[in-house]
Amino acid sequence: MSRAIIGAVLAGLLAAAPLDLDCGRPIGARELLGRIKLSEIEWAEDVNREAMWAAFGRCAALPDAPACRETVEERFAAEWARQKAAIETKYRQIQEDFEIRCRVSIG
């Protein structure tokens, strides 16, 4: 099984598993969210980088390989920026939802 498939399976399991964020331990909950977010970012970056290197390999046989690699790098950099922003938005929303839930339960 390729690294990308294993990573996708693990990321899917993490996304599907409900997070047990404890309002009584807000610092611990924030730390957990931070670790999970970082893990997802690192996994997505690895998958993106692996795909980019595969695309670089396809450029090698082309007459204008340097231009091809530059185009590929720009395309993958833009895609990575979108992916990372989406992950950060997702975890920011989880954090906000957690804080609202805790304020409601305390108040």
Largest CA distance in the chain: 67
Read off the DSSP letter of residue 45.
Answer: H
Which structure tokens are listed for 59? 């450029």
Could you give the CA distance from residue 6 to residue 46 in angstroms, rounded to a whole number? 12
Q: Supply the range of the domain harboring residue 24.
A: 3-106
Question: CA 45, CA 40: separation in Å to the nearest integer?
Answer: 8
Is pTM, for the whole model, over 0.85? no
| pLDDT tens, residue order, the chain (107 aa) | 455 566 556 566 555 556 678 888 888 888 999 999 999 999 999 999 999 999 999 998 899 999 999 999 999 999 999 999 999 999 999 999 999 988 887 76
The whole-angstrom separation of Cα 95 and Cα 77 is 27
The structural domain count of the chain equals 1
Asked whether the beta carbons of 19 and 33 are under 8 A apart, the reply is yes
